[in-house]
Amino acid sequence: MVRLVTRRAFIGSVAGALVVGGVGGYFGRNLLTPSTGGIDPVLGFTGLSLQTAPPRQPDHEVQLNIRPRPPVPIPEFYFEPTGLLVQPGQTVRFSAVTPHHSVSDFHPLHGRDLRVPDGVPAFSSPVLPVGSYWLYTFEKEGVYDLFCGPHEYFGMVMRVVVGSATGPGASPPPPPIPLPEEGATLPPLLTGAAVLRDPALDGNNIVQKGTVTWDELSADSKKLLLALAP
**Quick one: pLDDT at residue 93?**
98
**Quick one: pLDDT at residue 34?**
52
pLDDT 10s digits, 183-223: 789 999 999 999 999 999 999 999 999 999 999 999 999 99
Contact (CB, 8 A) for 18 and 100: yes
**Quick one: pLDDT at residue 175?**
84
**Quick one: pLDDT at residue 229?**
72
With a cut of 70, say whether residue 105 has pLDDT above it: yes
Report the share of the chain in percent with pLDDT over 90.
75
**Quick one: pLDDT at residue 13?**
41
In this structure, of 24-33, 107-116, 160-169, the range with the lowest mean pLDDT score is: 24-33
**Among residues 152, 179, 193, which one has the least CA distance to residue 17?**
152
CATH number for domain 3-28+36-228, candidates 2.60.40.420, 3.90.110.10, 3.40.1410.10, 3.20.20.80: 2.60.40.420
pLDDT 10s digits, 147-170: 999 999 999 999 999 999 999 999
**Quick one: pLDDT at residue 178?**
72
CB atoms within 10 A of CB 159: 28
28 or 65, higher pLDDT: 65
Phi/psi at 100 (nearest 5 deg)?
60, 55
Contact (CB, 8 A) for 111 and 149: no
- The residues spanned by each domain of the chain are 3-28+36-228
Beta pairing partners, 86: 162
Mean pLDDT of the chain: 87
pLDDT 10s digits, 4-15: 444 444 434 443
User: Which H or E run contains 188?
Assistant: none
